């Protein structure tokens, strides 16, 4: 993430350069102002108008510079933020499927919303503001140093002491900010779960139980925010006290130097009017530094969430499936629960396999291993003799199509939901629609293929959803089709017809996990595999 943040470093420097010019103009105007005041006290008319006009001119230039600065800052922030968000989302989509599934999606949502928002406000903007404050600080140092170096020395000592003090005071706030970010992540996850369970909560009147839990969690989060608020207020009050003390010291020293004749009255006004730029950076640093540090830690959290723990080196590019897939002594366990043990199996190209077995027997796990969602704990899966864990995901996924139990629909037209945004000829699309048994459905739709599927398929039935998934898979032109309970929402006749069509496709290897056994089609399979008791057995060979 840090690398992505640094990509817009050029924009940051350009904007800060404009900030430097603005501060320079501001410093120069302070000197003009001092001269103006001193001329007034000396009752000298010549030169007065000239300085006054110059002041008006530079005030206008300063206005333009500051407008430019705010435009540049806005552009820099937007661009950096967008870069980070797109990088993160791309990273999420590069995760191993099983590792993505292991986490709740809410965690990623919370990272993209809460955490990247915090990074925007506290880190991107924080660093910018701090840098700007220090630029104006150094410019004013040069200006005051030019007037009286002793006063500058005194002011600097006082300011630096105060800066250290403020920083030391802000320690407890840093810790609280970090804790709150973790709480937000959990809270967002919890809310997504509750809203995801909307139907079951409504139907079973579970709201009272949910409300109790919701109140506890909300309260806990609010208490943490309140604690941050309380601690921060106390720390800011202490910091204000030190600032007031510093102001008092600086005023006293300046006035004393005027009495000694080492500083003109205009000089005192210059110091006092720029005092904020002198102590501002230390004040800002104490306020922003804890935020910057805790937001900086979020980079590590975000990077960690994108890491794939299984890092087998994938270096083989697969050019289509040619001969066979072999499972060689494959074992897999979810923690202590061993689901497959020493499984040996051979799947030949264009073969048709029906996979059956009791619920919880391990059928889906077998499919997940074959889909490369995760790797076996022991043994190997060989695709045309190459170890599947060494084959790149991109090239392998191109060879397989999946019809899973959960079918996602985009809020888009039926056409785009079928083609998944690829260029597909009308002829091919019509054939896939027919083979997936969607012909009548499309004909009846008033908008045909241009009908919009709403809200993840709210306006279509479960059976239509499965058929859309089957059509998608047929349009994929992949070598292997993996079906996981694809027919369970279909009536018997429709399921039979679609299954028959799929099994008649000669250039397709089919692995079908199904509880629904269609007797008329059973002999169309080359092999029926039975998965149970950690084993995969062949029930019958055609």
Ligand X SMILES: Nc1ncnc2c1ncn2[C@@H]1O[C@H](COP(=O)(O)OP(=O)(O)OP(=O)(O)O)[C@@H](O)[C@H]1O
Interface residue list for ligand X (CB under 6 A): 334, 337, 339, 357, 359-365
Q: Are 452 and 411 in contact (CB under 8 A)?
A: yes
Q: Going by C-beta distance under 8 Å and a sequence separation of 6 or more, which residues neighbour residue 509?
A: 321, 347, 348, 349, 350, 351, 352, 353, 479, 480, 481
Distance CA 446, CA 436 (A): 20
CB of 223 to ligand X, least distance (A): 34
The residue with tokens 């979020």 is 298
Task: Supply angle C-alpha 353, 354, 359, rounded to 5.
Answer: 140
Of 290 and 357, which CB lies nearer to ligand X in the complex structure?
Answer: 357
As measured in angstroms, the least distance from the Cβ of 403 to ligand X is 14
Cβ neighbours of residue 189 under 8 Å, at least 6 residues apart? 104, 106, 107, 110
Which C-beta is closer to ligand X: that of 363 or that of 465?
A: 363
* Residue 350: closest CA among 309, 384, 374, 321: 321
Question: CA nearest 422: which of 476, 468, 473?
Answer: 476
For ligand X, the closer CB: 77 or 372 = 372
Closest distance of CB 366 from ligand X, Å: 7
> What is the distance in angstroms between the CA of the first residue and the CA of the last residue of the chain?
55
* DSSP designation for 316: B
77 or 363, CB closer to ligand X?
363
Smallest gap from residue 514 Cβ to ligand X (A): 9
What are φ and ψ of residue 325, in 5° steps? Answer: -110, 130
CB of 455 to ligand X, least distance (A): 26
Question: For tokens 């005041």, what's the residue?
Answer: 37
Q: Give the list of residues 6+ apart from residue 196 with CB closer than 8 angstroms, or none.
A: none
Helix axis angle, 125-147 to 48-93, nearest 10°: 150
Select 180 or 363, whichever has its Cβ closest to ligand X: 363
What's the closest the beta carbon of residue 365 comes to ligand X, in angstroms?
Answer: 3
Please, which residue, 456 or 533, has the CB nearer to ligand X? Answer: 533
| Secondary structure class of 487 (helix, strand, coil) | coil
Distances (CA, A) of 405 to 364, 469, 513: 10, 10, 11
For residues 283 and 52, the answer to whether their CB atoms sit within 8 Å is: no
Ramachandran angles phi, psi of 116, nearest 5°: -70, -30
Question: To which H or E segment does residue 38 belong?
Answer: helix 9-41
- Rank residues 369 and 518 by Cβ distance to ligand X and give the closer one: 369
> Considering the complex, what minimum distance in angstroms separates the CB of residue 367 from ligand X?
8
The nearest distance, CB 364 to ligand X, in angstroms, is 3
Between CA 319 and CA 1 the distance in angstroms is 33
- Which one, 95 or 363, has the nearer CB to ligand X? 363
Q: Rounded to the nearest whole angstrom, what is the least distance from the CB of residue 437 to ligand X in the complex? A: 23
Closest CA to 180 of 305, 307, 304, 297: 297
- C-beta closer to ligand X: residue 103 or 229: 103
Select 281 or 357, whichever has its Cβ closest to ligand X. 357
Please say which residue, 8 or 96, places its beta carbon nearer to ligand X: 96
Residue 229 CB, nearest approach to ligand X (Å): 41
Q: How far is the CB of 339 from ligand X (least distance, A)?
A: 5
């Amino acid at each position: 993430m840090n690398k992505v943040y640094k990509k817009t470093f050029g924009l940051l420097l350009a904007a800060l350069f404009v900030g430097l010019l603005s501060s320079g103009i501001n410093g120069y105007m302070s000197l003009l102002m001092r001269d103006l005041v001193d001329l007034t006290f000396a009752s000298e008319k010549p030169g007065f108008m000239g300085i006054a006009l110059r002041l008006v001119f530079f005030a206008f230039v300063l206005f333009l510079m500051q407008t430019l600065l705010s435009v540049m800052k806005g552009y820099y922030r937007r661009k950096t933020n967008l870069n980070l968000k797109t990088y993160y989302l791309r990273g999420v989509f590069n995760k191993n499927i099983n590792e993505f599934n292991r986490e709740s999606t809410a965690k990623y949502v919370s990272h993209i919303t809460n955490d990247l928002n915090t990074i925007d406000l506290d880190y991107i903007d924080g660093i910018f503001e701090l840098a700007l404050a220090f630029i104006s600080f150094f410019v004013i140092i040069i200006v005051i140093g030019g007037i009286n170096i002793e006063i500058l020395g005194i002011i600097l000592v006082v300011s630096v002491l105060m800066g250290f003090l403020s920083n030391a005071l802000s320690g407890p706030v840093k810790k609280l900010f970090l804790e709150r970010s973790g709480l937000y992540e959990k809270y967002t996850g919890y809310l997504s779960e509750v809203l995801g369970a909307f139907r079951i909560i409504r139907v079973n009147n579970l709201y009272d139980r949910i409300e109790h839990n919701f109140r506890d969690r909300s309260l806990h989060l609010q208490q943490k925010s309140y604690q941050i608020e309380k601690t921060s207020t106390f720390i800011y009050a202490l910091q204000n006290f030190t600032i007031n003390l510093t102001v008092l010291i600086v005023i006293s020293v300046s006035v004393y130097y005027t009495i000694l004749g080492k500083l003109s009255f205009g000089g005192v006004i210059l110091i006092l009017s720029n005092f904020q730029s002198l102590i501002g950076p230390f004040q800002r640093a104490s306020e922003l530094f804890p935020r910057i540090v805790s937001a900086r830690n979020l980079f590590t959290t975000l990077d960690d969430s994108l890491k794939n723990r299984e890092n087998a080196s994938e270096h083989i590019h697969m050019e289509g499936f040619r001969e066979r897939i072999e499972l060689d002594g494959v074992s897999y366990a979810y923690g202590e629960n061993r689901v497959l043990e020493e499984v040996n199996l051979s799947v030949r190209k264009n073969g048709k396999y029906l996979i059956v077995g009791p619920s919880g027997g391990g059928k889906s796990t077998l499919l997940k291993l074959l889909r490369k969602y995760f790797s076996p704990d022991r043994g190997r899966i060989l695709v045309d003799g190459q170890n599947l864990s060494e084959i790149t995901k991109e090239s392998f996924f191109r060879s397989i199509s999946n019809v899973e139990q959960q079918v996602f629909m985009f809020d888009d037209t039926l056409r785009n939901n079928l083609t998944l945004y690829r260029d597909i000829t009308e002829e091919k699309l019509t054939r896939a629609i027919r083979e997936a048994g969607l012909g009548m459905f499309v004909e009846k739709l008033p908008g045909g293929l241009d009908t919009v599927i709403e809200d993840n398929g709210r306006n279509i039935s479960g059976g239509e959803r499965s058929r859309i998934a089957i059509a998608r898979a047929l349009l994929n032109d992949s070598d292997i089709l993996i079906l996981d309970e694809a027919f369970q929402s279909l009536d018997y006749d429709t399921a039979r017809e679609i299954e028959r069509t799929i099994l008649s496709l000669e250039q397709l290897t089919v692995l079908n996990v199904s509880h629904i056994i269609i007797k008329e089609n059973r002999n169309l399979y080359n092999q029926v595999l039975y998965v149970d008791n950690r084993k995969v057995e062949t029930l019958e060979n055609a």
